[in-house]
Amino acid sequence: MSRTAEKRHDELVKLIHAHNYRYYVLDDPAVTDREYDALYADLTKLEAKHPELRSDDSPSQRVGDKLRSDLRTVEHVVPMMSLDNTYSEEELEDFDRRVRDRLSASAKPVYTVEPKLDGASVEILYREGRLAGGSTRGDGLTGEEILENLKTMRSLPTRIDYAGPLTLRAEVVIYRRELDRINETRVAAGDAPFANPRNAAAGSLRMLDPRVVAKRPLRPMIYQAVEGPDLAPTHSKSLDALAKLGLPTHRAHVRCETMEAVHEAVAELEKGRADYPYEIDGVVVKVDEFGMQDILGSTAKFPRWAIAYKFEAERAWTKLLEITVQVGRTGALTPVANLEPVSLAGTTVSRASLHNKDIIDKLDVRVGDRVAIQKAGEIIPQVIDVDRAARKGKPRKFRMPKKCPACKTPVVSTEDQVALRCPNPGCPAIVRESLHHYSRRFAMDVDHLGPSLIDQLVERELVRDVADLYDLDAAQVQSLDRMGKKSAENVIAAIAASKTRTFDRLLTGLGIEHIGQVAAKQLAEAGGSLRTVLEWTAEQTRENVDAIAGFGPKMVEAFADYLFDPTARALLEKLHARGVSVAQPKEEVVAGGVLDGSSFCVTGVLSRKREAVHADIRAAGGTVHDKVKKGTSYLVAGEKVGKSKLDTAKKHGTEVIDEKKLAEMLSGGDDLP
């Protein structure tokens, strides 16, 4: 190999990295797509002629063929802590006072204010100038290794001009406009759209095939250097230095020497939140000088030198075009507002919940009104206000239907519930929603059974209940729209595979009122198998279920009513006859475990699957509750926890802890609540 070829290769690598930075980070391309493609073609031709030049950090290796069967767990170089939250200027002032109290009297802390990115947090490692590692946030101490997936992101250079070890924190985001395109493709393919950019980013990061990840427009935004000798003495200067190295940062930080300047910067960021191409849900205020950060240190949960100021939930105004009524899995009728499309919290919203008749009456909302919508928990859009001054004419009040809009059966109501219900278990809308729930991953996990396919199965009356799935054959499925032979065979294979799910997964999939995943597992352990439970008498059912820890009267009655309802019982017998559900494996009770005698309710957005957290608690001798109730020892709160759950915990004297504290308890540490 000639020195000329080596020099040209190095030149092409640097050029392509530079153009990627301008295009994906600065949104300011310096060359046309055609010119970029020509450079890339020159690189691949040169590497084909001289394979020894092809290294892992070459732009040609962005999308490799390293398909994995699982994700390896790795320990973070520096633990990834959460941030304490604040919601008012007064609380920001309190934060400043705490900082000054811990520093010397002569210290004058300067703060950096920056957007709080709403994506998926990752750790990124560079060693000797090369991208060397990366992992998801995980539990804060360990995460899942995702280096091959990070390499697919063109804004992240695989080579930088910095020789020392560099450990970075980044938030992987998806631009709002790009999420719309992704969801259009998913809906066309019969898949459910992503609820928001954060979910799309987090799900994409954990995919096992980098070739699929490469098709997702993921953009890492570096917000912190936690290890980088001689990079800079302050946080703000470190962000500037990282940008000069060609690394993607948000480039939106503001250095503030007074709290007045902090408040102004916070207000400006909140005012312009809609102008960012990606989602932000607040701002982060950090002590700028690294030396002061070291002095301030951290608590068991949060760094003392940083705090997150959370914005109020975003709202938008639009026009109400129509009110329709949808029928859910339980038969409940829910009024839905059909709206003029409007951008809200990262997605285009055209439908929002009106909940029930009482809410409609309280808002006095009518077709044609100008309405305000907001995302409950930043996920589910709902109508929250009406601009009556803008109302034109005298539009009629909305009346809930007296008959089910899907099957025309007269609706019913009960004294203790606001919702109207369709009592017909064969209602196509109820069947459709029941199939959706039954096939979900946390239930019977029936792969390939998307919304479009379910709709066709119900419309053609091939499936009238979940048990009918097991009577389908490939020829019937292939006769449906957009179903080829191989696709049909995959559907039948997935349905057959669901027969092996454990009894608790079946109970979860049936969607029995008041019986969630945790309660379903407890029921399955008490009964052992579907056959055993079917043989219980009414008296035995109430005795056995009442003996389950944490089951109140409503849960006992709900399960007994379901088990002895003629329609539900016929469905259970039908499922049993088709060999659905295996017996529940008995879990060994850990007597004397570190959590023995303690009970936990787990809620909010967690760093890993909730089932895994439940399993760890049980393995340590603890018990798990579906919701906070009298006697629940701890509420393990992830992110996005509703105020009502925290209030319930306070009412029952339940201590609120985070995932890190739970990890300490599981490890048997001395620092137990």
Catalytically active residues are: 116
CA 554 to chain centre: 30
Task: Report the greatest alpha carbon distance in the chain.
Answer: 87
Q: Which tokens belong to 524?
A: 């399955």
What residues contact 114, with CB distance under 8 A and at least 6 apart? 223, 239, 250, 252, 253, 254, 283, 284, 286
DSSP-assigned states of every residue in 286-307: EESBHHHHHHH-B-SSSBTTEE
Taking alpha carbons only, the member of 667, 587, 597, 658 closest to residue 619 is 587
CB 169 within 8 A of CB 121: yes
User: Which residues, at least 6 apart from 278, have a Cβ–Cβ distance to it below 8 Å?
Assistant: 117, 118, 119, 173, 174, 175, 176, 197, 219, 221, 346
Q: Give which of 302, 322, 314 is closest to 271, Cα–Cα.
A: 314
**What is the residue whose two structure tokens read 């018990």?**
623
Closest by alpha carbon to 96, among 108, 114, 81?
Answer: 108
Task: Please provide the size of the chain in residues.
Answer: 673
Residue 237 to residue 76: CA distance in whole angstroms: 24
Structure tokens at 119: 């994506």
SS3 602: strand
502 CB-near residues (< 8 Å, 6+ apart) = 524, 581, 582, 583, 584, 585
Q: Count Cβ neighbours within 10 Å for each residue of 385-411 and write b for 16 or more, e otherwise.
A: ebeeeeeeeeeeebeeeeebebeeeeb
Give the whole-angstrom CA distance, residue 25 versus residue 19.
10
